Structure 1
Amino acid sequence: MGRLDVSVNGGKRGRHTPDGDHPSKDLKRPKKGELNFLPDYPEGMAGHNLEGARQLLVQEMMKAKPDALLVKKEMDVTFALRRQEVVNEKPAINLMLQRWPALFTESQVYQEFGRVVGTNLRESFFGSLDSYSASLVELFRKKKGLTGQLLAALLHQTKSSEPTDIRCLCLRGLPIILGDDPSEFFKTSCDAADTAYSQIPVGILIQDETSPLNPSRVGIILEGNVAMDGLPNLPQAFCVLFGLIYALHLDYPKCMKHTFNFVQQVMLKLGKSQLSPKIQTLKNQLAE
Structure 2
Amino acid sequence: MGFTGLARWVNAPTSGLQLVRDNIALNHNGQYRGKWNLSVRSYRSTLGQIPGFQIPSERTMCALTMDENVFVLLEDPLAPTRADVLAAAPPGQETAYLQSPTHFRTTFLTLRPPGALEQLLAQLKARWVSVRQSASSVPQRGQAGGQQLLIEGHIFSIGSDWLVRVGNVILAGGGIKGMLLEAEYLPLPALHSPIADGTSELLSNLLTSVLPNVRDAKTVAVTISDTQWEDVLWDREELEKGVQDPIHDSPEASEDIYAYGDEDIPEKKRGDWIGVDRDRRSAYLIMGALRSEGIL
Please give the range of the TM-score, normalised by the shorter of the 2 chains. under 0.3
Q: TM-score, normalised by structure 1?
A: 0.25
Decide which structure has the larger Cα Rg and report it. Answer: 2
Hey, which of these two has a bigger chunk of strand by percent?
2
Instruction: Kindly indicate which of the two structures has a greater share of residues assigned to helix.
Output: 1
TM norm structure 2: 0.25
